[in-house]
Amino acid sequence: MLRALRNILRLIGIARTLALHDALFPLDWLPATGGLILTARLLSGFRVKRSIRALRPGERLAIALQELGPSFIKFGQMLSTRPDLVGESIADDLSDLQDNLPPFSSAEARRDIEAELDGKLDDLFVSFDDEPVAAASIAQVHFAVTKPTPHEIAAAAENDAPVVGRDVAVKILRPGIEKAFERDLELFRWIAGVVERTQPRLRRLKPVAAIETFAEAVHREMDLRMEAAAAVELAENFADDANYVVPAVDWERTGRRVLTTERIAGIPFHDVDDLREAGHDLEAIVRHASENFFRQVFRDGFFHADMHPGNAFVQADGALAVVDFGIMGRIDRRTRYYLADMLLGFVTGDYDRVADVHFRAGYVPSNKDRQTFKQAVRAIGEPIFGRPSAEISVARLLAQLFQVTEQFDMETQPQLLLLQKTMLLAEGVGRQLAPDANMWQLAQPLIEDWMHEHRGPEAQLAELAADAFRAAERLPHVVGEIERAARAMADGKLRVDFAGDTARAPQWPLWLAIAALTILVLAT
């Protein structure tokens, strides 16, 4: 009761901020919020900030969330990957939510570095810039120069080289950010629980699971060792590709609250004029970016999921360098094949294939009409692929596909929503650099080679054989489980519930119990 009262009071304060920004509409998605909305308007004096009146609803909501603080900024960014929850227009506006806040003091930064790394700052760095180069909702970044370690000094002496420090970027978590997030996550969990209990039509969207996914992502972001590990994994995946650069991690100066990496030099990816002035081939940059993104998604199943322009730089030799690995996406092998088959079906106009892959993957329940779903798929594909190639957006295609989820009871796939939003960011930046080019068309030779290798007839036959082999490997374990169940039934330790009474334990599926009985009969 006390928890509910505390959350209600906090919700009223949040609603007042939303009212001041004319952004109360998210409360319409919650049950029985009329009283809360009226209270918020009363507390705001029915006033709306004049500067935001002409903005779109999503833009007003983005400003309100930024004012509410770090947890709400991150929550808004999560919502930007869920057009199925908030609609495509609002999701697009939330994707522009600026993740920047006033910096915390350099004194706090220095104190936290020393506490985390258990050493004096002067013993770690020759110099440390007091002014941060970036300040976001969770952390801020300072440039520094490392103090050479005894190993580095010895190596320099052995090679008769000068002893110099390395230019690095030091990322430090905001003081107290963990407690602030936990307080807000408790509120988000409570709201999601209320929605799931009281709104049956919204249960398929898995609000509780969505918040837990958000919480897991935030907890990973707030352990900078996880970000360091992600950077190392991405670097290993592209170790043989000179066109894609990931900064090296300085593990000696990295901990849970501090991350030190190689400092990256280059022109920001979105500075078109500077790139052109430096003599770069903009279409080649887009092609390399597209190829690298394709490899991350389909070859590795591990991709950089925060590819806004501030996280990518073009180096002097044309290589693309990326930073900030707090948000990464993973896609398993089967999902990658689903994506490949689905996109291939759209590109070739084979809507039977698109429908079939959705049913085979279990994304559309088997009781839904396949032909009606195929008709919906055609309605998505025909308008998109009838346009000039430069205007075709795979991200928009996925977004429209996800919009049919409610009609066909498709379960939400968070990893695909994150991929779609990342694609949208990548396509947007690509069009800034080369408006007349399509990033997927530029990467077409690479895509065709991958499709032939992984989705051709021979590859699919090999996949079936591999699945059969894995099933055969699991068979002894399954038989062992059935034998153990049979012995438990014979000893009276296992009861089969034919009446559906869930009060007794343990309970086993009826099919397993019948199989166990069969083995028991055959064995006696």
- Residues belonging to the active site: 306
In our burial notation (b when 16+ CB lie closer than 10 A, e otherwise), range 68-92 reads bebbbbbbbbbbbbbbbbbebebbb
Element containing residue 268 per DSSP (H, E): strand 267-268
Distance of CA 317 to the CA centre of its chain: 30
Burial class of residue 281 in the structure, from the number of CB atoms within 10 Å of its CB (0-12 exposed, 13-18 middle, 19+ buried): middle
Round to whole Å and give the CA distance between 339 and 347. Answer: 12
Cβ partners under 8 Å of residue 243, min gap 6: 288, 292, 318, 319, 320
Backbone CA torsion sign across 476, 478, 480, 482 = negative
Q: CA dihedral defined by 31, 35, 41, 42, rounded to 10 degrees? A: -160
Cα–Cα distance between 300 and 303 in angstroms, integer? 8
CB 435 within 8 A of CB 390: yes
- Which one-letter amino acid corresponds to residue 388? P
Asked if 36 and 27 touch (Cβ cutoff 8 Å), the reply is yes
**How far apart are alpha carbons 139 and 175 in whole angstroms?**
9
- Rounded to whole angstroms, the Cα distance separating 246 from 239 reads 9
Report CA dihedral (428, 432, 436, 437) to the nearest 10 degrees. Answer: -60
Q: Give the pairing of strands 258-262 and 139-146.
A: unpaired
Q: Tell which residue, 329, 307, 133, has the closest CA to residue 220.
A: 329
Is there a contact between 208 and 137 (Cβ–Cβ < 8 Å)? no
Facing residues of 314 across strands? 267, 320
DSSP for 104-153? PPHHHHHHHHHHHHTS-HHHHEEEE-SS-SEE-SSEEEEEEEEPPPHHHH
C-alpha to C-alpha distance for 173 and 159, rounded to whole angstroms: 38
As a whole number of angstroms, the distance between CA 297 and CA 420 comes to 11
Distance CA 15, CA 13 (A): 5
Euclidean distance between CA atoms 127 and 146, whole angstroms: 7
Q: How many Cα atoms occupy the beta-carbon half-sphere of 82 within 13 Å?
A: 19
